[in-house]
Amino acid sequence: MDLDQLVSRDDSVFFRTYKRLGIAIERGEGCYLYTTSGEKILDMFGGLAVNVLGYGHKRMNDAIKAQVDKYIHISNFFYQPKQIELAEKIKKLSGFSKVFFSNSGTESIEAAIKLVRKFFLGTDKTTLVSFTGSFHGRTMGALSLTARKKYREQFQPLLPDVLHLEFNSAAELETKINKRTAAVFIECLQGEGGINPATPEFIAKLNELKNKFGFIIAADEIQSGVGRTGTFNAFTQFGLDADIFIMAKGIGGGLPLGAIAGSDRVADVFTYGEHGSTFGGNPVAAASGVVVMEELENGLISNNKAGGELLRRELNTIKQKYPQKIKEVRGMGLMAGIELSFPGDGVVTQLMKRNILVNCTNDNVIRLLPPFIISSDEIKLFCNAFEEVISEMQ
Ligand SMILES: Cc1ncc(COP(=O)(O)O)c(C=O)c1O
pLDDT tens-digit map of 300-339: 999 999 999 999 999 999 999 999 999 999 999 999 999 9
- What is the distance in A from the centroid of ligand 1 to the CA of 191? 9
Per-position DSSP letters for 186-251, written without gaps between them: E-SEETTTTSEEPPHHHHHHHHHHHHHH--EEEEE-TTTTTTTTSSSSSHHHHT---SEEEE-GGG
Which of 135, 185, 255, when mutated, tests ligand 1's pocket best, judged by the most ligand atoms within 8 Å of its CB?
135
Based on its alpha-carbon atoms, the radius of gyration of the chain, rounded to whole angstroms, reads: 21
Distance between Cα 393 and ligand 1 center (Å): 31
Instruction: Give the percent of the chain with pLDDT over 70.
Output: 100
Q: Is 222 in the pocket of ligand 1 (CB under 6 A)?
A: yes
Q: Read off the amino acid at residue 240.
A: L
Residue to mutate (ligand 1; options 106, 107, 195, 255; most atoms within 8 A of CB): 106
Ligand 1 pocket, residue 136 CB under 6 Å: yes
Task: Judge if the beta carbon of residue 192 lies within 6 A of ligand 1.
Answer: yes
Whether 239 and 262 have beta carbons less than 8 Å apart is answered as: no
- Distance between Cα 151 and ligand 1 center (Å): 12
378 lines ligand 1 (CB under 6 A): no
| Residue 353 parent element (H or E) | helix 345-353
Cβ neighbourhood burial of 91 (10 Å; 0-12, 13-18, 19+)? middle
Q: How far is the CA of 246 from the centre of ligand 1 (A)?
A: 10
**pLDDT value for 288:** 98
State the chain's mean pLDDT as an integer.
97
pLDDT band at 394 (very low <50, low <70, confident <90, very high): confident
With bands split at pLDDT 50, 70 and 90, how would you rate the model's confidence at 161?
very high
From 136, 148, 233, give the residue whose CB has the most ligand 1 atoms within 8 Å, as the site to mutate: 136
Distance CA 47, CA 17 (A): 17
Could you give the CA distance from residue 168 to residue 323 in angstroms, rounded to a whole number?
Answer: 25
Cα(222) to ligand 1 centroid in Å equals 6
CATH architecture classification, 58-295: 3-Layer(aba) Sandwich (3.40)
pLDDT (tens digit, 9 = 90+) per residue, 88-105? 999 999 999 999 999 999
Q: Is the pLDDT of residue 67 over 80?
A: yes
pLDDT at 1 over 80: no
The CB of 83 under 6 Å from ligand 1? The reply is no
CA-nearest residue for atom 16, ligand 1, is 223
Q: Is the CB of 104 under 6 A from ligand 1?
A: yes
Q: Which atom, in ligand 1's list, is nearest to the CA of 106? A: 11
Report which ligand 1 atom has the smallest distance to the Cα of 223.
Answer: 16
Question: By alpha-carbon position, which residue is closest to atom 9 of ligand 1?
Answer: 105
Q: What confidence tens digit (pLDDT) does each residue in 357-389 have?
A: 999 999 999 999 999 999 999 999 999 999 999
pLDDT given at position 117: 98
Ordered by start, the domain boundaries in the chain are 58-295
Instruction: Look at residue 186 in the predicted model and tell me its pLDDT.
Output: 99
The secondary element (H helix, E strand) that includes residue 93 is helix 81-94
Which strand ranges, in their side-by-side order, compose the sheet holding 335-340? 326-332, 335-340, 365-368, 359-361
Ligand 1 centroid–CA 106 distance in Å is: 6
Mean pLDDT computed over 4-13? 94
Ligand 1 centroid distance, CA of 196 (Å): 16
Q: Is 369 in the pocket of ligand 1 (CB under 6 A)?
A: no
Question: How confident is the model over 210-230, as pLDDT tens digits?
Answer: 999 999 999 999 999 999 999
Portion of the chain with pLDDT greater than 90, in percent? 98
User: Average pLDDT for residues 192-221, to the nearest whole number?
Assistant: 98
pLDDT at residue 242 in the model:
98
**What digits encode the pLDDT tens for the residues 112-146?**
999 999 999 999 999 999 999 999 999 999 999 99
Q: Does ligand 1 have an atom closer than 6 angstroms to the CB of 361?
A: no
The DSSP letter of residue 272 is T
Chain centroid to Cα 139, Å, comes to: 16
Ligand 1: does its nearest atom lie under 6 Å from the Cβ of 223? yes
- At 335 the pLDDT is 98
Nearest to 163 by CA among 189, 183, 191: 183
Q: Which atom of ligand 1 is nearest to the CA of 224?
A: 1
- Residue 221 C-alpha to ligand 1 middle, in angstroms? 9
Cis amide prior to 81 (ω within 30 degrees): no
Q: Is the beta carbon of 105 within 6 A of some atom in ligand 1? A: yes
Instruction: Return the amino acid letter for 92.
Output: K
